[in-house]
Every structure is written in C-alpha cells, then in structure tokens.
Chain A
Amino acid sequence: MDLSKRKNVYYLLTFVVFAVLSFRLGQLQLINPEKFDKEAEKNSVKTIITTPARGLIYDKNYKLLVDNKPSYSVTITKKDFDTNQINSVSALIGIDPDDIRSDLKDIEGPNRFIPTRISRDADFKTISYIEENRDNLKGVDYKIEPIRLYPSTNLRCSHILGYTKEISKEQMKNQQGDYYKQGDIVGMTGLESSYENYLRGEKGFQFILQDSKGREVGGLNDGKNDVAALSGNDLVLTIDADLQEYAEKLLGNRKGAIVAMDPNNGEVLTLVSKPDYDLNYFSGKLSPEIWNKLNTDPDKPLFNRATLTRYPPGSTYKMVTALASLQEGIMKPNSTIECGGSFTFGNRTFGDHGAYGNISFVPAIEHSCNVFFYKLVLKIGFDNWTKYGRMFGFGDRTGIDIPEENRGLLPSPEYFDKVYGPNGWTEGYVVSLGIGQGELGVTPLQMACYCAALCNSGTYYQPHLVKFLKNPNTGELSPVSFKKRELNIDKDYFKIIQKGMYNVVNGSGTATAIRTSSVIIAGKTGTAQNPHGRDHSWFICYAPYDDPKIAICVLVENAGFGAAVAAPIAQRIVLKYLLGNTDESEIDDNKYHMPD
C-alpha cells in the first residue's frame, strides 16, 4: 500500500478543518465585530417562548366548540429577579410568597435565563403596574398567551372535551424529552388529553435584546433567528352539537349517561354524563375553592359516567345469551323453553314477571322472560356465555379516543376460581348472569357499541369521537382511522334478536309506551339491581328498524324500572336526530312506569 499518497488525503482534510474554522473565526471576530460588540454591551439577549395557539375543536358540522382567547401571563426571569421583591410581586398578583419561592426554586439550568410563567390570566391593572414599575421589578414581565374559550353557553360536552390545566410537577418529571416547562398548559382529561400532541402545536421563540434596566431595545439580528410558534391541529369531531345539547337537556338534573352512535361506522354522535361541570372554570386561573368543590362533590361531576361507571346491564344483556345458544347450535331458531313463572335452582328460587308457558326467542325478548334465560344460560354453559360476552367487547375497553375508560367486568370460570376459590362457587352464580345481573359490570359506552353491533348484524366498530385532524394553515383534513371487526355469528340469528327488540317497542313488550308512528324504534329495557337504593334504569335502542342510523344507550341512575325514564329519553333523541323534532316537556317518571 502506497501510504505516501494516502497521507496527503489526511493532510488535506486537516487543512480543510483548519481553513473552515479560521475562516469562521475571522468572519465572527474581524469582519463584523462591532455588531456583536454592541449586542454584547446591551448586555443580554432574552429568549421569550411564544405559546402556540392550541388547536380548535369543531363538531361534525364545523360548529365551533372550543376556541381560544388572549390572556396575560405574569412571568419571572430568575437570573434578573431580585428575591427581595417577592412580597411586592406576591401582593400584585395575589399569590402566596411561599408559592412563588417554591416555583422559583424549581427553575434550574438554562431555564434561569428564560421568563417563567408564575401566574396566568392577569388583569389589565396588574399588567400596567408591571409596565410602570420596571425599574423596581427587575425580571418581572408579562406575555400574551391564548387560553381556552367555550363559545356555546347551552352546551357543556365537559367529559368529551376534557379540561386543560397547568402541568403538574409529576408530569414534568415523567415527560419524554424536555418540551414542557413549568406552568405550561396540558390536556388533563378527555380529548384535550388524548390528542395533546396534536392540539398543543409547537412552541416558538423570540430573541430580544434588553438593556441593563430590563427594557427591550429590539430584536436580535432583526428577528432573523426567531422561530414562529406552530399552531396545533384542529379536531373535527363526530359529535352532533345540536343533538348533544338536546341530550344534555333531556338528562337534566338526573344522574346518568347517554351514548348515541352511528351503527354504520362507530362515530359517536352524543356522549353525555350527568352531572357535569363548566369547562370555563379551567380556562383561566382555576380557583382552589372550585377545584375542591368539584373533587369533593358526592355526585362526582368530574367522573365520566358514560365510560367509567360500571353497573350490571340487566335484561338488556339477554340477547348475548340468546345469540350464544343459537350460534353454538344448542338451540334452534324456533326452539322453546317452558316458563312456569319462577325457577328453582338448588335451594334458590328466581322469580319472573309472569308465567309464559312454552316460549321461543322473540317473545322471550319481547316480554323479557327471566325463566327462559335462566334455563338458557345453564344449557349453553358458563364458558360459552363468557365467550360471547367477550365477542361483544364486554370486560374490555372499547378503545374510544379519550383516556377515561373502564373495562367493566365480564365474569368467567377462571375469574370465579380466583375470587371464590375453585370450589367456592356453584352453577347457581351463573343463573343470574344469564339475565345480566350478578357480578357482570358494563359501561354505557359498551352498551351503545353492543346495540350498534346487534342492529348492524354483527360488525363491531371501535367507537370514536374524532373524525379529522385539520391543519390550521392549509385547512387540509386528515382522517383518523379506527378499527372494526366482524363477529363470528350468523346474520340470520341477528334477525331473530332484532325482531324481538322490534316487539319490545312495537308489539306487546316492555317499552310500548314509546312507540311512535313516525319512526320505527327497536329496543330493550333493563334494570341494574342496586343494593344501596332505587334501581338504575337502562335502555338500549336503535332506529329506524329496517335501516338503522342511530344506536343509543341511556342509563339513568336510581330511576327504577328499565323503561321508566331511560326509554322516553332515548325516543326523543331518535326523533330529534332523524326528524329534527324536539319536545321540551318534562318527562313524567310515573307515566312510563313499566315492568323490566
């Protein structure tokens, strides 16, 4: 190998390094040193982080649900700040001096040079005071930042949208990378949390020259180094704001939840949880009193009942048992079971609303015959019952695009073995599961998805709230994709179930009180037994019967029997969605008193 040639490559590269560095040094120090000297004499270059506007949120018809408005935030630059001024700053912005001290303590490293937010949503008086007293209040400044604004007064959507709040110390510590700084606003719940990375945008920064008194004297390098903040993506939801507003009003002061979705694609049209809260509490400075009140309220307004609450579904669950028996070939579509009005298993007797004689699937659903399903669940066995429940998504998260979601509880032989021990339970425990009671726990959202899969004959869509992400600059829409799966159940068997649900409303079933000639509704009532008080009322339904456009689950806590309040609420939502009809009259609980 001829190294005498190769060594020249190495000399050449060394020379290039030398040339590049000395050229650059000359450029910085000789060609234009006055510029830098002047900037160095002005003594400091301040970096200001500019907060991007958080993405907006629209409903499916582009009605604006969440907007931004400008507000003032008070900031402190630790390096410049004179700690003797803490008391006057504290008096000015109304924050305890110790809180300011502890905030300042957390500012470390390069963050000492950057103004850090210590209070947001300051009023104009505070800002003018800072402006007038710059000499005394070194390091104290303010900046304009967007905060959330909820334009509609009649519409809450609290649990869908979720609230934003200042990042907690815990979240700061656990974040990936170092994007978030103290005092930054992050989505805590709902869509604000799950779409945080899309909504937040990207911070920008400005370099500002200031003199020794902290007065700004211009931008560094004429602002050429500044980076503009990137606005976050907007969200276009699947929610129908009009329907949502109407549903919130229908549930009114009752405790409960409503979920309505499009059974053809899993788009959630309405998701209500009552009681709820006013998101405007969170947009500016959240007062500790309100925060405490929300957290200690026994009715738990922050709790999303639509996705977190877990009750036995009662009779609304009977269709799972029915489909399991048909698909497993244990029953024929026209098979019958004898109902004598009660059922004794071991030394326990389970009651029923009546004695129906030899009864087949359709009337058993129509009349919600308990004995039929007690016997049926014993025929199909616990394993099959669990298998079909799992198929319909029970006992697992539906995967809706908000973080708050409960799996519910779908008992299985393994589960009972674990809880009661392998010999600690009997088949008798299974009997009540057959009619949706006992330890089975489901969320209203799971029930809505289940109802959608029943009416579309076996396609299970992942429910979702966001349809598109919208680029705020180009207006370009990018669809968000969600999963769907086909259930392994014969379509013909769904026809039987659907006929049963048709008769519940349009035959002589348990919800005939909501029958209407304008739209054909099919549904099923249910009661969640409540050992602590009045039972909870369930109703699931879909409409129109022959071409379903909406599937609904309504849960009203402590409302008594299945159809009592839940069914008329569901009916009004159907009429509003399909025909645009609204009915503002009060729902009379007693008028609709019906058996389960």
Chain B
Amino acid sequence: MEKTFFHRFNFIVLFAALGLLTVGLLAIYSATFGNELTSANFDKQLIAGLGGLFVALVITFLPPKYISSSAFLFYGLIILLLVVVLVVGHRTKGQTSWFHIAGFGFQPSEFAKVAVVLALASFLSNRQKDTDVTNPKDFFWAVGIGMFPVALIMLQPDLGTSLVFLVVLLPILYWAGMPNFILFIFVAPAAAAICAFLGTWFFIAAMGLTLIALLSFKKNLLISTLIFTSVIISGLSVNLVYNKLQPYQQKRIAAMFNPEADALGSGYNVIQSKIAIGSGGLWGKGFLQGTQTQLKYIPEQWTDFIFCMVGEEFGFAGSMVVVFLFVILIWQTITIAYNCKNRFLSICCIGFGTILSFHMLINMGMTMGIMPVIGIPLPFMSYGVTFLVSDMIMLGVIMNAYRNRKEYV
C-alpha cells in the first residue's frame, strides 16, 4: 500500500466530530443568547474546542508506543486527581466532582473514562506478560483496573458517570477475547433483574431466553443449574427488595424509569425538553427562534439538555443530521478497531466507541423522555471544557489507530 497522507488520515472521523462540535457551538450560542451570565460559555467552548483539536492532532501523529506506555501513568495521575477532588473539590448540587484551574472548571471523572480505556487496553495487549482474559487471574486484574475509579466516583457521588465505567468494561473484555459464556454469566442476572422490575411476563421471557441460551452453551448440568438459579434469585430479589421499600422510595426508583414522575427534580426538564423537541417539527423553528428554549424554560440547556436546542430550532432534519454524524463516527471507530493490527489501539477504539454510543443513547434518550436522567452529557456538543477535551483525546487516539492500522506494534 502506498503511504500517502490521505491513506493515513481519516477525514471521515475528523469531519464527523467537527460537524458535531459546530452544531454544538451553534446550540450553545443560541441557548445562552442574551444571557449575560452564561454567554461567555460559547467563547470558552470555542477555545476548548480549538485547543482540543490541537491535542487530537498531536495524538494522531504520536508513535502508538508512546501512548500505550504512558497509559498507566495517565491512569495513576487521574486516580490521584479523583482523590484530590474529594478533598478539595467544589460542591455543586450535592456532588464534589470538579475544581477550578485558570477560570475553567476541571472535572477529573471525565478524563477517568479515557484513562480507564487506555489502561485496560495497555494491560490486555501486554506482550511481555502475555495477558489473556480467559485466564482468571488476568480477567480479575482487568475488572479491577476498570472498577477502581468507580469506587472513587461513587463517593462524589456521581452515579451516572459510574454507570459509564460499568457499561464500557464488558465490550472491551469481549473484544479482548472473553468467551461468550462468561459474557453471558455477567449479562444474564442483570438483564433478569431489569426484566423482573418491568413485569412478571418480562421476567418469564427472560428466564425462557436464559434457558435456551444455557442449552445452546452445552455446559455441564451443575454449572447451568447454578447460573439459572442465580438468574432467578436476582430477578426475585429485585421485587422483594422493592416491595420492602417505603412508597416514596419506590416512587424515586420508578422516576428513574419514568422521569416525568419526578417533577420536583428531573421531570420538569424532561417535560419541557420533550415539548421543545416535539415543537421543532420537520424543519425546526430556525436558529435563535425556538420559543421554549429561547424563553429559558429549560434550565442549563447548554449542558445536558443541549440536544433539545437542536430539536427545537433545527427540527427532525437537523436532529437526524446529528444522529447520523454520531453513527458515522461510531461505525468508523468499530471498523478501525477491526482493521487495526495493533491490539492496544484496537481495544482503545472499541472502548471509545462504546463510550460515545452510550453517551449518545442515554443523553438523547433522556431529552426525549425514554432514558433516565443521570447527568450524562452529549459528546462534542454539551458545554463543558473537561468533557470536550476528553472527547478530543478519544478522537486523537481513534485517528492514531487508523494511521497505524497496518503495523502490529
């Protein structure tokens, strides 16, 4: 293969990300338009975006070895910062998750997502130690690396971000070679618990599927029975625990599944944001013309609820452009992961792809009232300096993987 610049530079990924950044900037501009307190957010986001782009390009051209060998250093540094933020961090809305550096809020938990993916990828691609996820010792080490920051982030407490770590772990392990059966052992009880919560018939269906899956795995009777029992127990215990709760506690949990049931907190935003998106129609009301969003019915719409700006002002057409840009970016990332011969970079791509899809699903779903409100921002678009820079680091590593896809080391 001829090594031209274009063959080694993935413009699709870059333009998808820059497209999202641009739409995000427009939306932030509109959301903070005429608001003295927050209109500076647009400038901050623009600076962060340009700075982040520079970081992404630097990372693109780094030798992969530099990245993999500094992964654990980065991981250690982030763990340290997570401890520091608990001690000296600012408290807002009951969470201690950020501190101020030179006028920018800095949130180490956003970088922690990137750090965990890099550290896991570095661990799982270690040639000297010949790590192998089918080996129980290595498997538990990997789980430990992935879960350790969660403990610190739970202390802030930031449940939404913690959830991202849980979700990103399995796809990485699976990509690294975890057997289907082990994946099944992890997923089945969790899925059964959620199904049991949704209703008896869901639970029965889940048990049926478990049974079919167990038969197809053809493991010995003892192991299959054990797993089936654990699935039933996890399903039953969910309702048992739920029924023991006070009615108001039950209501809080129900609000996770149906945010509108919690109008004192998140439900208010969800109702308003659904109206905003719905009223956009096919073509939207036009830039700076959204009545719901311009009248500031949605608090802090430039962060977690940025997507409803897009929905109202740019309509279905504009929203679908955003969705497509995300899907192109993620699709490309998976393709790069598959084609990349460097195992470290390949695993990184899978991890970052998972983070992007999970954020996109939960955040957009939340603004449309189909996902719980757990404070997860929209990549490249939501206002937030730390978050945007961490997105750009991921972009840089993905482009680096494309550039070096033919080399094994």
Residues of A within 8 A of B (CB): 1, 3-4, 6-7, 9-11, 13-14, 17-18, 20-22, 24-26, 28-30, 32-33, 35-37, 39-41, 43-45, 47, 49, 79, 109-110, 113-114, 177-179, 201-203, 205, 207, 220, 225, 227, 230
Are A28 and B277 interface neighbours, CB within 8 A? yes
A545 to B319, CA, bound (A): 84
Are B271 and A230 interface neighbours, CB within 8 A? no
Known contacts A33-B279, A36-B279, A40-B292: A28-B299 contact under CB 8 Å? no
Residue of B nearest to A200 (CB): B248
A202 to B274, CA, bound (A): 25
When the two chains form the complex, which single residue of B267, B291, B299 contacts A40, counting CB atoms closer than 8 Å?
Answer: B291
Are A24 and B365 interface neighbours, CB within 8 A? yes
Q: Chain A contacts of B361 at CB under 8 A? A: 17, 20-21
When the two chains form the complex, which single residue of A4, A11, A20, A43 contacts B365, counting CB atoms closer than 8 Å?
Answer: A20
When the two chains form the complex, which single residue of A10, A24, A29, A47 contacts B282, counting CB atoms closer than 8 Å?
Answer: A29
* Closest chain B CB from A576 CB (angstroms): 39
Query: Which A-B residue pairs are the 10 nearest by beta carbons?
Result: A36-B278, A40-B279, A205-B263, A202-B248, A29-B316, A33-B281, A1-B177, A28-B278, A7-B338, A36-B279
Are A40 and B276 interface neighbours, CB within 8 A? yes
Residue of B nearest to A177 (CB): B94
Q: Chain B contacts of A177 at CB under 8 A? A: 94
* Closest chain A CB from B307 CB (angstroms): 10
Q: Quick one: CB contact mask for B325-344 with A, threshold 8 Å, 1 for yes?
A: 00100110011011000000
* Closest chain A CB from B179 CB (angstroms): 10
A-B contact pairs, 6 of them (CB 8 A): A21-B361, A33-B278, A40-B279, A79-B296, A178-B264, A225-B267
B105, CB-defined interface residue at 8 Å: no
Main secondary structure of the interface of A (DSSP, over half): helix
A203 to B330, CA, bound (A): 43
Are A3 and B338 interface neighbours, CB within 8 A? yes
Q: Chain A contacts of B247 at CB under 8 A? A: 202, 230
Q: Chain B contacts of A1 at CB under 8 A? A: 177
* Closest chain B CB from A284 CB (angstroms): 25
Q: Quick one: CB contact mask for B220-260 with A, threshold 8 Å, 1 for yes?
A: 00000000000000000000000000011001000000001
Are A29 and B280 interface neighbours, CB within 8 A? yes
Central interface residue in B279, B323, B364, by most chain A CB within 10 Å:
B279
Are B357 and A6 interface neighbours, CB within 8 A? no
Q: Chain B contacts of A18 at CB under 8 A? A: 323, 327
Q: Chain A contacts of B38 at CB under 8 A? A: none
B268, CB-defined interface residue at 8 Å: yes
- Known: A10-B350, A110-B268, A114-B268; 4 extra A-B contacts, CB below 8 A, are A17-B327, A20-B370, A29-B319, A40-B278
When the two chains form the complex, which single residue of B94, B291, B368 contacts A28, counting CB atoms closer than 8 Å?
Answer: B368
Are A220 and B268 interface neighbours, CB within 8 A? no
A110 to B316, CA, bound (A): 27
* Closest chain B CB from A210 CB (angstroms): 12
A202 to B252, CA, bound (A): 11
Tell me the residues in window 273-297 of chain B with beta carbons closer than 8 Å to chain A beta carbons.
274-282, 291-292, 295-297
When the two chains form the complex, which single residue of A20, A35, A44, A178 contacts B278, counting CB atoms closer than 8 Å?
Answer: A35
Are A45 and B272 interface neighbours, CB within 8 A? yes
* Closest chain B CB from A471 CB (angstroms): 9
Residues of B within 8 A of A (CB): 94, 171, 174-175, 177, 247-248, 251, 260-261, 263-265, 267-269, 271-272, 274-282, 291-292, 295-297, 299, 311, 315-316, 319-320, 323, 327, 330-331, 334-335, 337-338, 350, 353, 357, 360-361, 364-365, 368, 370
Are A14 and B331 interface neighbours, CB within 8 A? yes
Are A39 and B279 interface neighbours, CB within 8 A? yes
* Closest chain B CB from A37 CB (angstroms): 5
Are A28 and B274 interface neighbours, CB within 8 A? yes
Q: Chain A contacts of B264 at CB under 8 A? A: 49, 178-179, 203, 205
Known contacts A24-B368, A33-B279, A45-B271: A11-B331 contact under CB 8 Å? yes
A207 to B275, CA, bound (A): 13
Main secondary structure of the interface of B (DSSP, over half): helix
Q: Chain B contacts of A45 at CB under 8 A? A: 271-272, 275, 297
When the two chains form the complex, which single residue of B177, B269, B278, B337 contacts A37, counting CB atoms closer than 8 Å?
Answer: B278
Q: Chain A contacts of B94 at CB under 8 A? A: 177-178
* Closest chain A CB from B198 CB (angstroms): 16
When the two chains form the complex, which single residue of B263, B274, B330, B335 contacts A36, counting CB atoms closer than 8 Å?
Answer: B274
* Closest chain A CB from B151 CB (angstroms): 22
Q: Chain B contacts of A201 at CB under 8 A? A: 248
Central interface residue in A35, A36, A47, A230, by most chain B CB within 10 Å:
A36
Residue of B nearest to A232 (CB): B248
Residue of B nearest to A33 (CB): B281
Q: Chain A contacts of B175 at CB under 8 A? A: 3, 6, 10
* Closest chain A CB from B379 CB (angstroms): 13
Residue of B nearest to A110 (CB): B299
Q: Chain B contacts of A43 at CB under 8 A? A: 291, 295
Are B174 and A6 interface neighbours, CB within 8 A? yes
Are A10 and B268 interface neighbours, CB within 8 A? no
A21 to B311, CA, bound (A): 12
When the two chains form the complex, which single residue of A3, A10, A17, A41 contacts B360, counting CB atoms closer than 8 Å?
Answer: A17
* Closest chain B CB from A36 CB (angstroms): 3
A55 to B269, CA, bound (A): 31
A408 to B120, CA, bound (A): 60
Are B319 and A25 interface neighbours, CB within 8 A? yes
A7 to B349, CA, bound (A): 12
* Closest chain B CB from A426 CB (angstroms): 52
A114 to B175, CA, bound (A): 49
Are A7 and B316 interface neighbours, CB within 8 A? no
Residue of A nearest to B276 (CB): A40
Q: Chain A contacts of B278 at CB under 8 A? A: 28-29, 32-33, 35-37, 40
Are B282 and A30 interface neighbours, CB within 8 A? yes
* Closest chain A CB from B373 CB (angstroms): 12
When the two chains form the complex, which single residue of A7, A10, A17, A113 contacts B297, counting CB atoms closer than 8 Å?
Answer: A113
Are B315 and A220 interface neighbours, CB within 8 A? no
* Closest chain B CB from A516 CB (angstroms): 49
Are A24 and B370 interface neighbours, CB within 8 A? yes
Are A10 and B276 interface neighbours, CB within 8 A? no
A109 to B280, CA, bound (A): 25
Residue of A nearest to B299 (CB): A110
Are B334 and A7 interface neighbours, CB within 8 A? yes
Q: Chain B contacts of A9 at CB under 8 A? A: 174
* Closest chain A CB from B184 CB (angstroms): 13
Residue of B nearest to A26 (CB): B316
When the two chains form the complex, which single residue of A7, A32, A178, A225 contacts B271, counting CB atoms closer than 8 Å?
Answer: A225
Q: Chain B contacts of A29 at CB under 8 A? A: 277-278, 280-282, 311, 315-316, 319
Are B268 and A113 interface neighbours, CB within 8 A? yes
Residue of A nearest to B291 (CB): A40
Known contacts A49-B264, A205-B263: A25-B316 contact under CB 8 Å? yes
Q: Chain A contacts of B368 at CB under 8 A? A: 21, 24-25, 28
Known contacts A26-B316, A207-B271: A225-B279 contact under CB 8 Å? no
Q: Chain A contacts of B295 at CB under 8 A? A: 43-44
Q: Chain B contacts of A47 at CB under 8 A? A: 263, 268, 271
Central interface residue in A4, A6, A29, by most chain B CB within 10 Å:
A29
A18 to B251, CA, bound (A): 30
A35 to B278, CA, bound (A): 8
A177 to B353, CA, bound (A): 34
Q: Chain A contacts of B268 at CB under 8 A? A: 47, 110, 113-114
Residue of A nearest to B247 (CB): A230
Are B357 and A13 interface neighbours, CB within 8 A? yes
A583 to B295, CA, bound (A): 72
Q: Chain A contacts of B174 at CB under 8 A? A: 6, 9
Q: Chain B contacts of A17 at CB under 8 A? A: 327, 357, 360-361
A79 to B331, CA, bound (A): 44
Q: Chain A contacts of B277 at CB under 8 A? A: 25, 28-29, 36
Known contacts A21-B365, A24-B370, A47-B268: A10-B353 contact under CB 8 Å? yes
Are A25 and B323 interface neighbours, CB within 8 A? yes
* Closest chain B CB from A175 CB (angstroms): 11
